[in-house]
C-alpha cells in the first residue's frame, strides 16, 4: 500500500479500531511508523482484528466505550489526530433498535468531539455515511445536496455532520467528515444478522448456498474498496489546504454496480477457486425497509481539495477481497 507521504511522527487515535475499517486503518498507520491508540468496546469489533498489533511498541489498546466521556478523554490524551470510526452501523439494526443506535452514534459522537476539543487535537476526521443522502434522487450524489433520511441510522450520521459543523465554528476544532459508500474488503465480517452484502454473499457462495438478493437485483451501490478509504482518511488527516477542512466528502470510487452484476462477479472470481460456485442460483426476496434504490458518488470534491486518487475499482477490489476471504475463511 502507498501511504501518501504520511508523516510517521504522529500519535493517532482510531476509535472503533478493532472493527473492519478501524483495524485496517490501524494497520496502515502502524506500518508507516505512527503511534496508534485504539479505543474499542468490542460490541462489534473483534479482538482477532487487532491481534497482530498487540505486541507492537507503538500500539495501545484502550478498552472503553464512547458513551462514557471519561473513556473518550483518556483515549484523546496526547493525541494529534482522531480517526473516529466507532459507531453502530446498519440500517436494519437502527430500525430494530433506534435507541441504542442513537446512544452510540449521537451521544458517543458528541463525547468524542468534546474530548478531542479539550485535548486540543489537531484534527477530527470522522466516518460519515452515504445514508445521509436519504430520499434525494440526484445522481451522482454531490455533497451539498441531500434529502430526508430514510432510517434512524441515517439520522444519526447526519446529526454527526451537524455537530461537527457547530464544533468547528464554535470551538475552532478542525473536522472532516467522510461519507463512506458501501465499503468492503479484508477483515469485513461475513457473519451476523447485519453482515454487509459482499462478505455475506462470499460466505454463502463458498458453501454453495444461494445468496438472497433483496428485490429484483436492480438496486445499485458505489462499492468502495477499503484501500480507497484508507487513502481518504490519510489525505483528510494531512491536508494543508485550509479550504479542505470543516466540511464533508464522499468516500467512494465513483461507479455503481447493481446487485445482479455484483453477484455474477463474485461467482466468477470465487469460481476460479471452486468451479461449482459459478452454477449457484440466486434467490430473490422482498425489498428491505429503509434501503435506497441507487447510490452513486461524485468524488470530484475530494479529488480537487484532498488530491484523492482512488486506485481500486469494483473489479480490482473484489478480486483482492475474494482472495483474502478464500485464504482466511476456508
Q: pLDDT, tens digit, for every residue of 148-161?
A: 999 999 999 999 99
Helix (H, G, I), strand (E, B), or coil: what is residue 78?
Answer: coil
In the prediction, which pLDDT does 291 show? 74
Q: Given the residues 126, 153, 269, 325, select the one marked as catalytic.
A: 153
292 pLDDT more than 80 = no
- Between helices 226-238 and 314-329, what is the axis angle to 10°? 110
In the prediction, which pLDDT does 64 show? 98
In the prediction, which pLDDT does 229 show? 98
> Residue ranges of the domains in the chain?
11-184+226-255+296-312
Q: Considering the chain, what is the average pLDDT of its residues? A: 94
153 has catalytic annotation:
yes
Q: Are strands 175-180 and 183-184 parallel, antiparallel or unpaired?
A: unpaired
Question: Which DSSP string do the residues of 187-245 spell out, in sequence order?
Answer: T----STT--HHHHHHHHHHTTPPPEEETTS--EE--EEHHHHHHHHHHHHH---GGGS
pLDDT bracket for residue 244 (50, 70, 90): very high
289 pLDDT more than 80 = no
Please give the average per-residue pLDDT across 89-100, as a whole number. 93
Query: In CATH, what number does 11-184+226-255+296-312 get?
Result: 3.40.50.720
In the prediction, which pLDDT does 307 show? 97
In the prediction, which pLDDT does 260 show? 96
In the prediction, which pLDDT does 9 show? 82
pLDDT bracket for residue 7 (50, 70, 90): low
In the prediction, which pLDDT does 90 show? 87
170 pLDDT more than 90 = yes
Please give the average per-residue pLDDT across 2-11, as a whole number. 68
Q: Are strands 220-221 and 257-258 parallel, antiparallel or unpaired?
A: antiparallel
Q: Are strands 35-40 and 59-63 parallel, antiparallel or unpaired?
A: parallel
Each residue's pLDDT tens digit, 175-200: 999 999 999 999 999 987 777 899 99
For residue 29 the three cell numbers come to: 498507520
pLDDT bracket for residue 5 (50, 70, 90): low
In the prediction, which pLDDT does 4 show? 53
In the prediction, which pLDDT does 1 show? 41
Residue 160 CA neighbour count, 13 Å, CB half: 35
110 pLDDT more than 80 = yes
Amino acid at each position: 500500500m502507498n501511504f501518501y507521504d504520511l508523516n510517521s511522527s504522529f500519535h493517532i487515535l482510531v476509535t472503533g479500531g478493532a472493527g473492519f475499517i478501524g483495524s485496517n486503518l490501524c494497520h496502515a498507520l502502524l506500518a508507516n511508523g505512527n503511534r496508534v491508540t485504539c479505543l474499542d468496546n468490542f460490541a462489534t469489533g473483534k479482538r482477532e482484528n487487532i491481534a497482530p498489533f498487540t505486541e507492537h511498541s507503538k500500539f495501545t489498546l484502550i478498552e472503553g466505550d464512547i458513551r462514557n466521556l471519561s473513556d473518550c478523554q483518556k483515549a484523546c490524551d496526547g493525541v494529534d489526530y482522531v480517526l473516529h470510526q466507532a459507531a453502530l452501523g446498519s440500517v436494519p439494526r437502527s430500525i430494530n433498535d433506534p435507541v441504542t443506535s442513537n446512544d452510540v452514534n449521537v451521544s458517543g459522537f458528541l463525547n468524542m468531539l468534546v474530548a478531542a476539543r479539550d485535548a486540543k487535537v489537531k484534527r477530527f476526521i470522522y466516518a460519515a455515511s452515504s445514508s445521509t443522502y436519504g430520499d434525494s434522487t440526484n445522481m451522482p450524489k454531490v455533497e451539498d445536496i441531500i434529502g430526508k433520511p430514510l432510517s434512524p441510522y441515517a439520522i444519526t450520521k447526519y446529526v454527526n455532520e451537524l455537530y461537527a459543523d457547530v464544533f468547528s465554528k464554535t470551538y475552532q476544532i478542525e473536522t472532516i467528515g467522510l461519507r463512506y459508500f458501501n465499503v468492503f474488503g479484508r477483515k469485513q465480517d461475513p457473519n451476523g444478522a447485519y453482515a454487509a452484502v459482499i462478505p455475506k454473499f462470499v460466505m454463502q457462495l463458498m458453501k454453495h448456498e444461494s445468496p438472497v438478493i433483496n428485490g429484483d437485483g436492480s438496486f445499485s451501490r458505489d462499492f468502495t474498496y477499503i484501500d480507497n478509504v484508507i487513502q481518504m482518511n490519510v489525505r483528510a488527516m494531512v491536508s494543508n489546504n485550509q479550504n479542505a477542512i470543516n466540511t464533508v466528502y464522499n468516500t467512494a470510487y465513483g461507479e455503481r454496480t447493481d446487485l445482479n452484476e455484483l453477484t455474477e462477479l463474485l461467482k466468477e472470481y470465487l469460481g476460479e477457486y471452486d468451479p461449482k460456485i459459478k452454477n449457484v442460483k440466486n434467490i430473490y426476496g422482498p425489498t428491505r425497509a429503509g434501503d435506497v434504490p441507487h447510490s452513486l458518488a461524485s468524488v470530484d470534491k475530494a479529488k480537487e481539495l484532498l488530491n484523492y486518487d482512488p486506485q481500486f475499482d469494483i473489479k480490482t477490489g473484489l478480486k483482492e477481497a475474494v482472495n483474502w476471504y478464500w485464504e482466511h475463511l476456508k
